[in-house]
Amino acid sequence: MSYNCIVIVREVWDTRDLTGSVLADNGSIKDSMLTRFEPEDMNALEMALRIKDEHGGKVTAFSVGTPKQVDVLRECLYRGVDEVVRVDAGASSLGTQAAAQLLADAIGKAGQYDLICVGVTVADGESSMLGTHVAGKLGIEQVSYVDAIEEIGEGRVVGKRGIEMGYEYIEAPLPALLSVGVALVEDDPRTPRSAKAMLKLKAKKAEIPSADVDASAVTSPVSIAGREAVPERAVESKDVAAEDETALKSMLDDVLKGE
Amino acid sequence: MPGENFYTENKDLKFLMDEIIDWKAIVDLKEKIGDEECPYDDAEEAKATYLGMLEDPVGDIAAKRFAPRAEEVDTIGCQYKDGEVIFPEGLKRNLQDLMDAQLMGMTIPREYGGLQFPETVYTAAIEVVSQADASLMNFFGLQGGIAETIMEFASDELKQQYLPRMSTGEFTGAMALTEPDAGSDLAAVSAKADIEAEIDPETGMWHINGTKRFITNGCGDVILVLARSEDASRKSGGRGLSFFLVEKGDTVKVRRIENKLGIHGSPTCELYFDNSPAYLIGRRGMGLARYTAWLMLAARLAIGAQAQGIAEAALQESLKYAEEREQFGKPIRQFPQVAAMLANMRVYTEASRALLYATSEIVDLHQGAERRELKEETKAYGKLAEALTPIAKYYSTEIANKICYDAIQIHGGNGFMKDYPVERLYRDVRITNIYEGTSQIQVNWGISRLVRGDLNEYIAGLAEKVTRNPELKAEVDKAAAVLQECLAFLKEKDVGYRELIAPHAVDIFIDVAVGYLFLAQAEKWEYKVEVARKFIHDMAPRVEMNRQYTLDALLVELNP
Amino acid sequence: MSNILVYAEIEDGVVHDVSLQCLAKGREIADASSGKVDCLAVGSGIRAAAEGLGAFGAEAVFVAEDAKLEQYLTSPFKKVVSDFLKTNSYDLILFPATTVGDDLAPAVAEALGVACVLHCDGLAGDALTRLEFDRKVSTTYKAEGCTIASLKDGIAVAGAPDSSRSAQVSDVAVELDAASTKSKVLRRDVAKKTVNLKDAKIIVAGGAGVGTKENFSLIEELADALGAQIGATRAVVDAGWLPADHQIGQTGVTVRPAVYIACGISGAVQHRVGMLDSGKIIAINTDKNAPIFKIAHYKIEGDLKEVLPKLVKLIKA
Ligand SMILES: Cc1cc2nc3c(=O)[nH]c(=O)nc-3n(C[C@H](O)[C@H](O)[C@H](O)COP(=O)(O)OP(=O)(O)OC[C@H]3O[C@@H](n4cnc5c(N)ncnc54)[C@H](O)[C@@H]3O)c2cc1C
Ligand SMILES: Cc1cc2nc3c(=O)[nH]c(=O)nc-3n(C[C@H](O)[C@H](O)[C@H](O)COP(=O)(O)OP(=O)(O)OC[C@H]3O[C@@H](n4cnc5c(N)ncnc54)[C@H](O)[C@@H]3O)c2cc1C
């Protein structure tokens, strides 16, 4: 049995190795800030591609943004996704819930599907869990914090869901949406696959089709009211001599006051 | 974040690829822009594609997958049991990843399922992969030379039969030249091809008998074999040797694998050919002079890149360690001698890289001209490629050995322990200046070409490209004059004397070439002015020393 | 005026600490705007814990109890919570930012068609703030109309129970239809934790500097004297001196105790990220340049084998 999978992918701010300030003088995010493929979406993509590797079928990737913002879709093609769809968001950034509405509209028009995978992430400048909103709008079951698919078949999927003290295994009927976490791979550094060279050669100029949805028709209930730089945390520290019992005592008194 | 991508994090390599390599010249010769089959609209697009590929997949899988497995691959190593070679799990995964990333046919033409990338891109890819795991390079980096030899010289049927499966990585290759009594001296090869039996008239198949030793990946699927096909009484030595392709099978027995100092992830096999069916490649009697020479040229560039990658790894490990380790209340990198070692490691890593990629560029131009059947250019570039390749291989591998030596020194006692990767690097690097021809063999080649004047125009060309930093250039010009003085002197000397001083004279050439290359780089990247200044500052006494060795060598045999 | 509902996550008969923090935060906002704070608890066998919420400041507590709600699952819980909210109106609904809260909050927001902001580190009036860009930027979100938010651990200090206060407790009818019971929990592999570091007020953590497994008795004695939990670095776990659930850091747990005593820990970044937000950090290390000292409030340069017994003695005195 083969499956039609959908992945939702995002290009997000690259917050690794941030030095200096993120904000420009006018409070907006600096132009020099880089973006990258959201790593948890990359895990979601890997999950979908593995289903295709094992069971056959098709993987379609969706992303919301301007043509420039959806380089991630090309990255998907390089990794073996069959089709990509850009969902145009118009000029401004939409917010999670409005983006979810557009995605649900676009996915609804794209035909039959069995599974949707998306990163669990709530990224910088995003305020909620995209996958849960999409599932809600499509009226399908969803499981979040899924680290691995245990089983898929007979109209259902079993996801291994990472929770605070361990894992739980949740069975959901297809079609379902999985919000995917980080721990795809445990024993070996098999991070999500890299590009495939031949595919990259072939798909580098592939046209990226747009979904027929109307961004002006959706509104977001949430908006960003402002951004402020957070000062580096400074610690006031005291040296306490190891042999000075009085100093040790007063340190203990200080820290244990509230307890 | 370091350790995410071994291409984008390697600023020097990236600079060479972005700014120094003349991609237009290469693409114009190697691609038919405008042709329907050509995937590029112009050289810019080709360049962007090449470099994009170095970033992802090459740099990405090297850092994220190969590097983390390197220690395990080294510790477990390849094993041998009942005639079979058993790969460590990590190696199997590495090979699968290379296949999944569709990288095994980097230089194989697109019509045979490859990427048809230039040697320069392949060389960079080999460097990046070797930085992660030097032993893996012996699968990834030898594939190219073997496939290209088939591409250049084998029949169309053989190409159809083997190249597509080499592109996917289903087939890996080996080159079986060395024998117990034929190492540096390959003319002594004794494996026999069909000397008694007749060639099978039906299949055109030959049959090979004999033993080959030290064969990297001898358990691979496609084995190129150098064997004696001619009657020794009529055609002796190298002229009696031909080149064959043997496919893995029951008649090809792996008798043992070697227990080695390093590159544990690369099986070194002793092969026994028991009347193994073989296809002749090219013409009889040309096995050594033409095909082996061709294959070795490609493989030498690859080994140079392997050493380059190990050097980069050792440099990065050392920089990290010298920052973290504190003695006498400060990070050890602040002590003058440690700082000097680190600076030298960087300068010479970049020096050998400069020469390596200048060479790969020439090799590309040569191949391109040859495929375009441009007679003049083919000859000119061919002459350069044959002279530069052994010198670049010699320099990269010797430098990399020095860098790994210093890397251990910087790590102190920790460096001697298996807990730190430099210990592995130190062992792995040691093979690079031995196989594919020892350093001695490389400089012997180099000196003969230098004395013949094959590189004179090349040096003049490098000098002409330098338009700024006149004081520094004047220093290099002086060294260039010393080189000419030495070469003129050597013209009058016999081969014995030339080979005796070969490393010294070749070193002068290298200093001159790298000096000019650095100055050219300095015109594109301000940082390189300092690198050039340091290199040129330090080369003056070295050039003088090598001059004296060259002009007045003393060979003694001491028997107390 | 703000009317606030707090989702009380109850596990094994205990209200999750972050839910209590949400309640404390809700109380603060409601008091400032003369509004009210109620709690909703959903599950099975949760009544006793839910009733106790009055003592933490809830005015009304609604309990949706049903054997089918024994284990958390999105759809049935979403159904119960959104059914409740269709007949009870609130301006702000607060969830703890846990794997349950973060799952349920957006699902409920979808069912009701209201705004949702997750992982808030701050809440003031109608401004929801989140630390973003590696904690370098605080972004303020504003929402229109009824708003659902999840609040992160550390948003407030869970107040002490005040037994003089109590809440009016009422039952909520649970109606689960076929549509809300399509998924099921097949099984749960939850490690029986030997420690609960997340809720610990004081943690004494040992690193490779402790030297041997036997020497951990020094750590234990101090922990006993303080009523503290024991944490460890990966070096310690790798050495087999303590089980993995003691590991703090990037690949262990993240903790925010009021007091963190780091003994023989160098303070590698992978460890620091797991304990950086501790209230007060005491570090004991023989190496005055150990990175841990850069984030410590109290720096004790010395041998833990001497310092720890001294501390125990001082505490017991
Ligand atoms: C790990 C490993 C993998 C290998 N893989 C392959 C492979 O895949 N295929 C293959 O065919 N071979 C392979 N080889 C063989 C390798 O190429 C030879 O070992 C190498 O060429 C040197 O030959 P030798 O070992 O016989 O040394 P020798 O030729 O015996 O050399 C011994 C010493 O004498 C010096 N010497 C010899 N001749 C001269 C001269 N004319 N002038 C100055 N000095 C000289 C050498 O530099 C060296 O220092 C491999 C070897 C190793 C160790
Ligand atoms: C991907 C990754 C994830 C990781 N995740 C984690 C993680 O989640 N948690 C974690 O802790 N680590 C983690 N690590 C490991 C981390 O990098 C450090 O190696 C580890 O935290 C070091 O532990 P340590 O401080 O106990 O040991 P060390 O670094 O060896 O430090 C021991 C310290 O004890 C001091 N000391 C020695 N003797 C004494 C004495 N008698 N009295 C007082 N002080 C003494 C020494 O001066 C030294 O500072 C991770 C690493 C990686 C690469």
Q: Tell me the torsion sign for CA atoms C18, C24, C29, C30.
A: positive
- What is the share, in percent, of chain A residues with pLDDT greater than 90? 61
Q: Whose CA is nearest to atom 6 of ligand 1?
A: B215
Among candidates B474, B470, B462, B487, which has minimal Cα distance to B547? Answer: B487
pLDDT at C43: 96
- In terms of DSSP H, where are the helices of B214-292? none
Q: C116, C119, C177: best mutation site toward chain A, by most A Cβ within 10 Å?
A: C116
Of the pLDDT bands very low, low, confident and very high (cuts 50, 70, 90), residue A186 is very low
Residue range C14-30: average pLDDT? 93
The C-alpha atoms of residue C19 and residue A250 are separated, in whole angstroms, by: 34
The closest CB to that of A237, out of C115, C145, C297, belongs to C297
pLDDT at B2: 63
Please give the mean pLDDT across all residues of chain A.
Answer: 89
Q: A147, A222, A252, A254: best mutation site toward chain C, by most C Cβ within 10 Å?
A: A222
Collect all residues of chain A within an 8 Å Cβ-Cβ radius of residue C106: 128-129, 132-133, 136
Q: How, if at all, do strands C92-96 and C3-8 pair?
A: parallel
The answer to whether B56 touches A194, Cβ cutoff 8 Å, is yes
CA of B254 to the centre of ligand 1 (A): 20
pLDDT at C197: 87
Residue range B15-36: average pLDDT? 96
Collect all residues of chain C within an 8 Å Cβ-Cβ radius of residue A165: 190-191, 193
Amino acid at C278: S
Q: Whose CA is nearest to atom 50 of ligand 2?
A: C270
Of the pLDDT bands very low, low, confident and very high (cuts 50, 70, 90), residue B339 is very high
The closest CB to that of A141, out of C75, C143, C282, belongs to C75
Collect all residues of chain B within an 8 Å Cβ-Cβ radius of residue A193: 100-101
Which other chains touch chain B, taking contact as 3+ CB pairs less than 8 Å apart? A
DSSP assignment, residue A193?
P
ipTM of the complex: 0.88
Rg for chain C, CA atoms, rounded: 22
The C-alpha atoms of residue C317 and residue C314 are separated, in whole angstroms, by: 5
What are B492-528's pLDDT values in tens digits? 999 999 999 999 999 999 999 999 999 999 999 999 9
Which of C261, C270, C278, C289 to mutate for ligand 2's pocket (most ligand atoms within 8 Å of CB)?
C270
Residues in contact with ligand 2 (CB, 6 Å cut-off): C 207-209, 233-236, 247-252, 264-266, 268, 270-271, 274, 284-287, 290, 303-305
Place of tokens 């590991």: C247
Triad C75, C81, C87: Cα angle to 5°: 135
Rg for chain A, CA atoms, rounded: 22
Collect all residues of chain C within an 8 Å Cβ-Cβ radius of residue A167: 188-190
The answer to whether C116 touches A98, Cβ cutoff 8 Å, is no
The C-alpha atoms of residue B136 and residue B148 are separated, in whole angstroms, by: 19
Triad A44, A46, A50: Cα angle to 5°: 120
The answer to whether B49 touches A201, Cβ cutoff 8 Å, is yes
**Is C139 in contact with A128 (Cβ distance < 8 A)?**
no
DSSP assignment, residue B283?
S
CA B119 to chain CA centroid, nearest Å:
11
CA of C199 to the centre of ligand 2 (A): 23
The answer to whether C239 touches C212, Cβ cutoff 8 Å, is no
Amino acid at B188: A
pLDDT at B199: 66
**Is A168 in contact with C109 (Cβ distance < 8 A)?**
no
pLDDT at A185 over 60: no
Which other chains touch chain C, taking contact as 3+ CB pairs less than 8 Å apart? A
Strand ranges of the sheet holding A238-241, from the earlier edge strand across to the other edge: A238-241, C298-301, C280-285, C259-263, C202-206, C229-232
How distant is the Cα of B37 from the closest Cα of chain A, in angstroms?
A: 11
Of the pLDDT bands very low, low, confident and very high (cuts 50, 70, 90), residue A162 is confident
The region, left, alpha or beta by phi > 0 then psi within -120 to 50, assigned to residue C126 is alpha
**Is B93 in contact with A200 (Cβ distance < 8 A)?**
no
pLDDT at C39: 97
pLDDT at A234 over 80: no
What are B94-120's pLDDT values in tens digits? 999 999 999 999 999 999 999 999 999
What are B385-422's pLDDT values in tens digits? 999 999 999 999 999 999 999 999 999 999 999 989 99
Length of chain B: 560
CATH among 1.10.10.350, 2.60.40.10, 3.40.50.300, 2.40.110.10 for B173-285: 2.40.110.10
pLDDT at C290: 87
Give the highest mean pLDDT range of A83-92, B35-44, B190-199, C187-196: B35-44
The C-alpha atoms of residue A252 and residue B8 are separated, in whole angstroms, by: 50
Which residues touch C175 (CB under 8 Å, ≥6 apart)? C79, C83
pLDDT at B342: 98
Place of tokens 């391109």: B368
The C-alpha atoms of residue C206 and residue C194 are separated, in whole angstroms, by: 16
Place of tokens 């140079």: B304
Of the pLDDT bands very low, low, confident and very high (cuts 50, 70, 90), residue A9 is very high
Residues in contact with ligand 1 (CB, 6 Å cut-off): B 175-178, 183-184, 214-216, 260, 268, 431, 434-438, 440-441, 444, 499
The C-alpha atoms of residue C253 and residue C244 are separated, in whole angstroms, by: 10
- What is the share, in percent, of chain B residues with pLDDT greater than 90? 91
What are B105-160's pLDDT values in tens digits? 999 999 999 999 999 999 999 999 999 999 999 999 999 999 999 999 999 999 99
Q: Tell me the torsion sign for CA atoms A60, A66, A71, A72.
A: negative
Told to judge if B247 belongs to the known catalytic residues of this protein, a careful annotator would answer no
Q: Whose CA is nearest to atom 27 of ligand 1?
A: B183
Among candidates B536, B501, B509, which has minimal Cα distance to B522? Answer: B536
| Residues paired with C139 in a beta bridge | A227, C130
Q: How, if at all, do strands C202-206 and C127-132 pair?
A: unpaired
Please name the residues between 19 and 78 in chain A that touch chain B, using a CB distance below 8 Å. Answer: 78
**Is A204 in contact with B52 (Cβ distance < 8 A)?**
yes
Please give the mean pLDDT across all residues of chain B.
Answer: 95
pLDDT at C243: 82
Please name the residues between 94 and 123 in chain B that touch chain A, using a CB distance below 8 Å. Answer: 100-103, 106, 113, 115
Residue among B436, B492, B526, B530 flagged as catalytic: B436
The three-state (H, E, C) secondary structure of chain C, written as one string? CCEEEEEECEECCEECHHHHHHHHHHHHHHHHCCCEEEEEEEECCCHHHHHHHHHHCCCEEEEEECHHHCCCCHHHHHHHHHHHHHHCCCCEEEEECCCCHHHHHHHHHHHHCCEEEEEECEEECCEEEEEECCCCEEEEEEECCCEEEEECCCCCCCCCCCCCCCCEEEECCCCCCHHHHCCEEEEEEECCCCCCCCCCCEEEEECHHHCCCCCHHHHHHHHHHHCCEEEECHHHHHCCCCCHHHEECCCCECCCCCEEEEECCCCCHHHHCCCCCCCEEEEEECCCCCCHHHHCCEEEECCHHHHHHHHHHHHHC
Task: Give the start-to-end residue ranges of the domains of chain A.
Answer: 5-227
Tokens in use for C246? 């003691």
> Quick one: which ligand is closest to C206's CA?
2
- What is the share, in percent, of chain A residues with pLDDT greater than 70? 93
The C-alpha atoms of residue C186 and residue A168 are separated, in whole angstroms, by: 8
pLDDT at B262 over 90: yes
Triad B392, B396, B401: Cα angle to 5°: 150
Q: Whose CA is nearest to atom 25 of ligand 1?
A: B183
Rg for chain B, CA atoms, rounded: 23
Collect all residues of chain C within an 8 Å Cβ-Cβ radius of residue A169: 185-189
Q: Compute, in degrees rounded to 10, the torsion defined by CA atoms B366, B368, B370, B375.
A: -80
Residue A189 touches partner B, C-beta closer than 8 Å? yes
The closest CB to that of B69, out of A17, A189, A198, belongs to A189
Residue range B249-271: average pLDDT? 96
**Is A189 in contact with B49 (Cβ distance < 8 A)?**
no
Which residues touch B392 (CB under 8 Å, ≥6 apart)? B300, B301, B304, B352, B355, B356, B358, B359
How distant is the Cα of A125 from the closest Cα of chain C, in angstroms?
A: 8
pLDDT at A184 over 70: no
pLDDT at B201: 62
DSSP B511-545: HHHHHHHHHHHHTT-THHHHHHHHHHHHHHHHHHH
Collect all residues of chain C within an 8 Å Cβ-Cβ radius of residue A238: 297-299
Of A154-158, A162-166, B30-34, the range with the lowest mean pLDDT is A162-166
Tokens in use for B455? 């590189």
Among candidates B188, B149, B102, B434, which has minimal Cα distance to B293? Answer: B149
Which residues touch B349 (CB under 8 Å, ≥6 apart)? B12, B308, B311, B312, B315, B399, B403
What are C281-308's pLDDT values in tens digits? 999 999 888 889 988 999 999 999 999 9
Task: Give the start-to-end residue ranges of the domains of chain B.
Answer: 173-285, 453-551
pLDDT at B297 over 50: yes
Tokens in use for B502? 């070969």
DSSP assignment, residue A217?
G
Of the pLDDT bands very low, low, confident and very high (cuts 50, 70, 90), residue C158 is confident
Residue C255 touches partner A, C-beta closer than 8 Å? no
Q: Which residues of C305-317 are buried (b: 16+ CB within 10 A; e: fewer)?
A: bebbebbbebbee
The C-alpha atoms of residue B259 and residue B257 are separated, in whole angstroms, by: 7
CA of A47 to the centre of ligand 2 (A): 34
Residue range C113-135: average pLDDT? 90
| Residues paired with A142 in a beta bridge | A177
pLDDT at B344: 98
Q: Relative to the CA of B212, which ligand 1 atom is closest?
A: 11
Q: Whose CA is nearest to atom 38 of ligand 1?
A: B184
The answer to whether A237 touches C296, Cβ cutoff 8 Å, is yes
Q: Tell me how crowded residue B236 is: count the other CB atoms within 10 A of its CB.
A: 12
Please name the residues between 170 and 209 in chain C that touch chain A, using a CB distance below 8 Å. Answer: 182-191, 193, 198, 201-202
The C-alpha atoms of residue A234 and residue B402 are separated, in whole angstroms, by: 44
Per CATH, domain A5-227 is 3.40.367.20: no
CA of C268 to the centre of ligand 2 (A): 6
CA of B76 to the centre of ligand 2 (A): 27
The answer to whether A120 touches A131, Cβ cutoff 8 Å, is yes
Triad C97, C102, C104: Cα angle to 5°: 130
The C-alpha atoms of residue C308 and residue C221 are separated, in whole angstroms, by: 8
**Is B65 in contact with A195 (Cβ distance < 8 A)?**
no
Residue range B188-206: average pLDDT? 77
